[in-house]
Amino acid sequence: MNDCIFCKITNKKLPAKIQYEDELCMAFNDIHPKDRIHILVIPKKHIPTIAYLEDGDEKLMGHLIKIAKELAKKNGCPGYRLTFFVGKEGGQEVFHVHLHLIGK
Ligand code: AMP
Ligand code: ZN
């Protein structure tokens, strides 16, 4: 997606403080952190919202959660929140699926 800011980040056309990257996903610091740790874990594949998930995306989505868990541990978070906002009415602002990892 040419006009998607998170695709631009995965394509390295926009800068981000990258915390993790592999062939399926990327994790980077949220530009407006809500707590000490605020990392977004995103699939490299462009999926606009959770509502657009298709059969076969289960493994990818489980992978995002696993990477978030590992980053929480690496960053010394004793507890944390993992959140998806879904759709405009659900508070979603960037229409490329992202998992918020927010922790103290
Ligand atoms: P939402 O779509 O409401 O789940 O949240 C989008 C999140 O992306 C917000 O927390 C923003 O601060 C964050 N954000 C927007 N643009 C960037 C960017 N260029 N780099 C990092 N985080 C961003
Ligand atoms: Zn995208």
Closest listed ligand to the CA of 48:
2
pLDDT band (50, 70, 90) for residue 97: very high
Percent of the chain residues past pLDDT 90, beyond the cut: 98
pLDDT digits (tens, 9 = 90+) for 37-79: 999 999 999 999 999 999 999 999 999 999 999 999 999 999 9
Contacts of 54 (CB under 8 A, 6+ apart): none
Q: What is the pTM of this model?
A: 0.98
Q: Let me know: does 97 contact 49? Beta carbons within 8 Å.
A: yes
Torsion of CA 27, 10, 25, 39, to 10 degrees: 20
Catalogue all structural domains in the chain, each as residue range(s) with its CATH number: 5-103 (3.30.428.10)
Q: Where are the beta strands (DSSP E) in 1-104?
A: 18-21, 25-29, 37-43, 80-83, 99-103
Q: Output the CA 15–ligand 1 centroid distance in Å.
A: 13
Q: Whose CA is nearest to atom 5 of ligand 1?
A: 93
Q: Looking at the CA of 14, which ligand is closest?
A: 1
Phi, psi of 40 (to 5 degrees): -105, 130
